[in-house]
Amino acid sequence: MNPVKGDDIAVRLVNFGAMVVRLVAALPQDRAGKHIADQLLRSATSGGSNYEEGRSAQSRRDFVHKVSLAAKEMRESVYWLGLVERARLAPHHDIPPMLREANELVAILMASAKTAAAATADERT
């Protein structure tokens, strides 16, 4: 099967979500651990699902909206991962590479949304 535009980002988002699923399973089962786990799991997996919705958008404007949501969710994931690291909730997990990947995905998604938004603006003029 031929690669489709955006497949590489989609794969990275799924891989990131899978890393977070494994991390969340290792978080403490106390009140704080459960709260952080729920928030992190939601944001980390939502980024990928919003991106997939964007890939099948009905318009460029819809694409920009969905990809922007994906970036927002990934940015939230950066926050929760940083909290896990600073609170030392997962001492046996290597959080910095996960943070790096999340930040790279935010940058890619924001650039994609910006490019598509600019193209939409050009179409109007």
Cβ 104 vs Cβ 63: under 8 Å: no
Identify the residue whose tokens are 């910095």. 96
**14 in a domain, yes or no?**
yes
**12 in a domain, yes or no?**
yes
DSSP assigned state of 44 = H
**75 in a domain, yes or no?**
yes
Calpha distance 7→13 (Å, rounded): 10
Residue 47, both tokens: 């980024």
Residue 92, domain extent: 7-124
**2 in a domain, yes or no?**
no
Calpha distance 51→69 (Å, rounded): 8
Could you tell me the CATH number of the domain that includes residue 61? 1.20.1440.60
- Name the domain count of the chain: 1
Radius of gyration of the chain from Cα atoms?
16
Per-residue pLDDT of the chain (125 residues; tens, 9 = 90+): 555 666 899 999 999 999 999 999 999 999 999 999 999 999 999 999 999 999 999 999 999 999 999 999 999 999 999 999 999 999 999 999 999 999 999 999 999 999 988 887 656 55
**95 in a domain, yes or no?**
yes
**What is the model's pTM?**
0.89
**1 in a domain, yes or no?**
no
Cβ 54 vs Cβ 63: under 8 Å: yes
Cβ 41 vs Cβ 59: under 8 Å: no
